[in-house]
Structure 1
Amino acid sequence: MGFENPSRDQIKELLQQTKTIAVVGLSDKPDRTSYMVSQAMQSKGYRIIPVNPNVDSVLGEKSYASLADIDEQVDIVNVFRRSEDTVPVAQETLRMKHKPKAFWLQQGIFNDQAASLVQAEGIQAIMDRCIKVEDSILLPK
């Protein structure tokens, strides 16, 4: 049996319990999808932590070079990287000081190996879903 995303109810519960989202690959360019999605999530009250070694800050938040550098609880690791680049991100997620609840690959991003790595450590995996779309549908405000 192949990978299956959590149910809509499970995703809703995850989002309701989420305060902080680390966004891997968050660009400081306002025309990029990662920026637009993160800005929308921030405007809904989520704290966004940028993870991008090439920028100092995004959306008013200090950017970190890697997930392992974050010294606070992150609820979701949201990934804007190519599918083939997500296994190292999953491995880095496992090295975080505080284990997140979920590892979320944005719409169009799939990697069964990355999902298996985090799931083996009790971290929920979500693939090929836009966090902003899911939040808008499940938690409209």
Structure 2
Amino acid sequence: MNIQCEVPACNVPEKEIRAVLKNHTTVAVVGISHKPERDSHKVAAYLLGAGYRMVPVHPLQKEILGQTVYPDLAAVPFPIEIVNIFRRPDMVEPIVDQAIAVNARVVWMQVGVVNNKAARKAEAAGLRVIMNRCIKTEHMKMVAQAMSG
């Protein structure tokens, strides 16, 4: 099956990405892998090391990186601020629905993940949307900028 990647119809400006990273500390990583070589695992480990509360979300795992894994966003027993999505674009919309239902503040789709329909739905519900960007890369840029200026 050939899945086409959309171009983001909109994205928040750099300044707003920095604000998201500074003001929100609980990040659910949806689609995290238990395999250390996978990007989702590396990003989750980075977030933990950077001081974020990283919440792994995967229906088949119990523990990843020493953290309890939840089968979906609804199962997480505390507020989630950022929903970081490591899933195919065609699987994003139900995750956005869950993010809206749990009152998340931000939907963040990783590099290669763009779903404009889901983004419009999230924005209509008051969530900020970041697409086709890596949360780890953006955090590293923010730290580098803070150190240089």
TM-score (norm 2): 0.89
Per the TM alignment, residue 19 of structure 1 is displaced from its structure 2 partner at its CA by 1.2
Aligned residues: 138
User: Could you tell me which residue of structure 1 aligns to residue 76 of structure 2?
Assistant: 70
SS of the residue corresponding to residue 48 of structure 1 reads: strand
1:105 aligns with 2:109: yes
How far off is 1:86 after superposition?
A: 0.4
CA deviation profile, 1:102-138 (whole Å, cap 9, x unmatched): 0000001100011011111100011000000000001
Q: In the TM superposition, what are the counterparts of 1:1-141 in structure 2 within 5 Å?
A: 3-96=9-102, 99-140=103-144
| Structure 2 spans left out of the alignment, 5+ residues | 1-7
**1:26 Cα deviation (Å)?**
0.6
Other structure's SS at 1:139 match: helix
Aligned-CA RMSD value: 1.2
**8 Å CA contact retained: 1:12, 1:139:** no
Instruction: Report the TM-score, using the length of structure 1 for normalisation.
Output: 0.94
- Deviation, 1:70, is 1.1
- Spell out, residue by residue over 1:9-52, the C-alpha distance to the aligned partner (whole angstroms, 9 max, x if none): 10101100121100000111101110001101111111110000
Cα drift, residue 74 of structure 1: 1.2
Gap regions ≥5 residues in structure 1? none
Amino acid in structure 2 at the alignment position of 1:137: K
Structure (1 or 2) with the larger CA radius of gyration? 2
Distance 2:22 2:82 in 1: 12
Displacement after TM superposition at 1:139 (Å): 2.4
